[in-house]
Amino acid sequence: MAGSTPGSGIRNRHRNVHEGANALLLLTLLTCTLRCSECTKASNIVLIVADDLDLDLGGLVSLRQYKHTHKNQNAKYTVTPLCCPSRSSILSGRYVHNHMVHNNSLSGNCSSKAWQAGPETQAFPVYLSKQLYQTFYGGKYLNQYGASETGGVGHVPPGWDQWHALVGNSKYYNYTLSANGKAEIHGDNYEKDYLTDLILNRSLTFLEDRSPQRPFFIMLCPPSPHSPWTAAPQYQNNFVDVKAPRDGSFNKPGKDKHWLLRQPVNPMLNSSIDYLDNAYRKRWQTLLSVDDMVEKLVNKLEDIKELNNTYIFFTSDNGYHTGQFSLPTDKRQLYEFDIRVPLLVRGPGIKPKQTLQDLVVNIDLSMTILDIAGVNISALNMDGQSFLPQLTPSLRGGTSRSYFLVEYTGEGHVPEDPHCPRLGPGLANCFPDCICQDSFNNTYACVRTLKGDNLQYCEFADNESFVEMYNLTADPYQLENIVKKVDPTLLQTMNQRLIKLQSCQGKSCQDLK
């Protein structure tokens, strides 16, 4: 996806870990052709969704195709900072309170029977199939996908012609794949089993076997850079000197924050810092195979003469943190490092290397993809809106939102987290060093505004009724909770916005500008 020739080597180049850490909202690469209304068939679409790829902490620096990125304050946001609910929002175009997938557990509706009977039947691939798109899925789907309680590997969601989905959470080796509804067991042979390469190769076969007369949609969801951070053999010695960025909130105490953020040891133990630095390096190593994926896919599209009629989207389900507020490694928090993610797009009619300032959230992806496909999106029951008008402003007008909703329902263990049983029940992700990064009452809803005031306002569902508020213009690292300092009328305004967002559905969400 780079503007330069795909394949230009960077493997042995020592990178500046801070260069380009804040990627732009939408980077459009390469000179493209006219929009598909002047083509003989609808445009093709490719969507690549990385797993836990951060934006604010240098997650894109390791990738060749982004070396020409520019700094920009705006970016795509996720409406929830966790894999399963975020992916459900991407697929359904809905906020969490409408698709009802609250977290990664079956009890939280992740890939549950309720999801399958409801939002999954109205996910955007269903509409693409009705538009006669040839569809391919490869990689991680939803964390509980393939569970026996919800139909096992035999369940293939509607809308997909080719289905090669990982059973369960991210793995690189030793996994089960649902290959068009049949279980396929994989081991630890790099050439045969490495998941990032496997789903790429199958998508290339799909492109060779497709009907040239019909458009196609490919969705690739590699495990990178999610744990267990298993790099391909050729990349396991890269970035040996890299450490996690020591940014403004790194190893800082969670002062005046929700009780969970007030618990970590500060300053962090050396063992926690060693752990997160090692994780950071390994995350980058796994991303080099994603780099290869994009390069080979672009080359294939060029070989079959479809590149100029194909939109390519690259994004992530949620962000990630490595030491911010003394939390070693995870996501699930309301702060920018966990909710702000990359989004890069190229395609017909989009000017190259263009930066757009409009706010985009992940529920907008489905509407944008269906807009490209020619679906009447005004008739859809989705909460997002198409950002195609912002990508191709010469074709039509469009409006953008100024604020959006972030919501999360915490997870905990009963009776206790196995990594740290001495802390008792209700906590989760208590590693390393018994630093817990989730709990049942890590449950919150936030309104994030970007036009006008650059603010975040969050309310917790806990026995403290805790509230956090940040002015990100004055305090970009969200160090100071200003809820007790701001004008009460502003608090009331933010609270009213939050109430409206939490009850919106479909067009009423789109109307909240």
Rounded CA separation 314/299 (Å): 16
Planar angle of CA 190, 195, 200, nearest 5 degrees? 105
Strands 310-316, 360-361: pairing kind: unpaired
Sequence-ordered alpha helix ranges (H) in 170-244: 190-193, 195-209
DSSP-derived 3-state class of residue 110 = coil
Three state DSSP letters for 333-386: CCCHHHHEECEEEECCCCCCCCCCCCCEECCHHHHHHHHHCCCCHHHCCCCCCC
Rounded CA separation 284/459 (Å): 34
Report which of 381, 468, 385 is spatially closest to residue 123, judged by C-alpha positions.
381
Start-to-end CA distance of the chain, whole Å, equals 32
253 prior amide bond cis, ω within 30: no
The conformation of residue 460, written as its DSSP 8-state character, comes to E
Return the H-helix or E-strand segment holding 220: strand 216-221
Report which of 232, 206, 228, 230 is spatially closest to residue 219, judged by C-alpha positions.
206
Question: How many Å separate Cα 38 from the centre of its chain?
Answer: 32
Ramachandran quadrant class, 71 (left: phi over 0; alpha: psi -120 to 50; beta: rest) = beta
In this structure, how many other beta carbons lie within 10 angstroms of the beta carbon of residue 39? 14
State which amino acid sits at residue 112. Answer: S
Catalytic status, residue 83 = yes
Catalytic one among 36, 83, 84, 110?
A: 83
Q: Which residues are catalytic?
A: 83
